[in-house]
Chain A
């Protein structure tokens, strides 16, 4: 045993030395290698993006793009790379953190590249581009987006009259009919997430806004949202034995949910037998919706900015984006790119959708306060007014 340990020790030292001297290969100097990073949203998406990247590599022989997925805590991994001044050249930025990443100085302002390449940014939907703009400085181009829509179980809707609600009043009516007929067999007619990333849409529908949370409109919206739960017409997914409302719809525990484009591939693969319809988000005094979007951005510390800009502008340009949205996994953020069929319910929300994140550097910090307070309000241990003032001050930083 001891002799074996001695041999193992010697081998170990050799192995450690070997590992320490391992070097990564280098490419020929004619080709600029740049790195593209993002998180993973599904095997189909990863494969599609790899294909798009391959097409870029083929059509741009002097640039080679290494695409890598970060399969874990994207924010933490990126923060570490930023701190070490060793980030990927082009990467995803979620709109909710765009404001704070820009403020921290890790994103490259794009204005002078736009000017020198005469890039036409007018084709991007303004609310989407606005989520990545601070003042007049643009920090990224939206690569795709999704608003919220209303998904309803067809069978259950049929039992309640067959007509999808279009505003708060009809939502209430339909839910009451569903509850009376117990269409969900022990569940609740509506599944509502205890999440401002859903409830904020209702605030905009009531005529309120994130910059004016102490208005009566904002309070009215929260009271309507929470009120549906108090009336027994809605509840949160955990009370329906689900991790999120999509799961509740799939399990037949809820008839009406409000989710984005991502619910379509989920239902197709996990609950393929559930018949549901996608309807536009309801309105109240006005239309109100949230645009969840992600940008491609350029790293401030990138060592290959011109090549990175070429990639970035191509991916979010007409050609790149057309390829990216061709499978319907995402909606185009440009007006000159057509979405695949059947997405009208989402696209019709474009005029009323507000970019989630709002370019506010305190947004991601405020978001935690928002949701913790909301769960307290739902549980009845906090007042609506207290939550709204908490959130308003958190947003100011």
Chain B
């Protein structure tokens, strides 16, 4: 039996070898590099004069702008992830059924995800302008994406909408794995549609939930692109669109303070890692081998 176990382990390593090498080279090494330089004064061309130490971490953790960035990203993530999951799951359930024009609806729901973000962001900025379509309808004059108070929530709405198609695809795949016997049994027991969903489908989607929660949760915590476009790269107005990754980016590519950027990166990693561990131990717990 030991021979069989060894052989299985051998195959296991063989199957994951290439991915592990790729990840090692292009993620683990750069992160190790970041951890290293976070203790130095580091410029574009490498190490600069000055002693080593934890001063970069001190600077980052005591920077009020970094605190604002953390607060913003927390609000954003708590807002966007449940919304994305709910939207994506709803859409998947809808188009999983035999409805007329199924292909059309599948394509329509998937559209915002595949349209280039230039087009989508432009249209959204246009519609939510201070004198745009949305304000015409509700009778307001607020520039939604440009006001300090509403910028983050406008981003939540925008991104939840554009990623719903992608989440839908993942849930759609997950739904296919649920055997139809389960539904037939529920029907024979005269279980209502809602009950069937809540007590049977939803729990059976647990691996999909864990996946979406982790991947899109981490994605939310790493928000950069739209915050950059909407805030003009400065994190404005008044730091309303400041995010941790934007903070790292500016420290690295505007201020050329690579040591401090690396420190911020390590701090962010620790935060995300802890949160993911918590998710693993709650939602992802039931993982058979």
Contact = CB atoms under 8 A, between A and B. Distances in A.
A binds B: yes
Interface of A: 73, 75-76, 79, 82-83, 100, 104-106, 194, 238-241, 243, 364-365, 367-368, 371-373, 375-376, 379, 381-382
Contacts of B238: 372-373, 375-376, 379, 381-382
B253 A194 contact: no
Interface stretch (B76-84, B141-149, B179-187, B207-215): B141-149
B130 A79 contact: no
Contacts of A381: 238
Given A104-B43, A106-B44, A239-B143, A368 B256 contact: no
A372 B236 contact: yes
| Highest count of chain A CB atoms <10 Å: which of B236, B238, B255 | B238
Interface string B109-153: 000000000000000010001111000000001010011100000
Contact residues of A: prevailing secondary structure = helix
6 contacts: A75-B253, A104-B45, A105-B45, A241-B143, A372-B238, A382-B238
Interface in B188-234: 234
A192 to B, nearest CB: 14
B285 to A, nearest CB: 34
Contacts of A106: 44-45
Given A106-B45, A241-B129, 19 more contacts: A76-B253, A79-B253, A83-B44, A238-B130, A240-B130, A240-B131, A241-B130, A241-B132, A243-B125, A368-B234, A371-B236, A372-B234, A372-B238, A375-B148, A375-B237, A375-B238, A376-B148, A379-B237, A379-B238
Contacts of A240: 130-131
Interface of B: 43-45, 125, 129-132, 141, 143, 146-148, 234-239, 249-250, 252-256
Contacts of A194: 237
A365 B254 contact: yes
A322 B131 CA distance: 44
Q: Which interface residue of A79, A83, A241, A368 has the most chain B CB atoms within 10 A? A: A368
Nearest to B122: A243
B10 to A, nearest CB: 21
B125 to A, nearest CB: 8
A379 B238 CA distance: 9
Given A104-B44, A368-B254, A238 B146 contact: yes
A371 B250 CA distance: 14
B235 A372 contact: yes
A235 B254 CA distance: 29
Given A239-B143, A241-B130, A375-B238, A364 B44 contact: no
Contacts of A382: 238
Nearest to A243: B125
A375 B44 contact: no
Contacts of B45: 82-83, 104-106
A173 B83 CA distance: 51
B148 to A, nearest CB: 6
Contacts of A238: 130, 143, 146-147
A72 to B, nearest CB: 12
Contact of B234 (A73, A83, A104, A371): A371
10 closest Cβ contacts across the A-B interface?
Answer: A238-B146, A241-B131, A375-B237, A238-B143, A365-B255, A241-B129, A376-B238, A375-B238, A104-B44, A368-B234
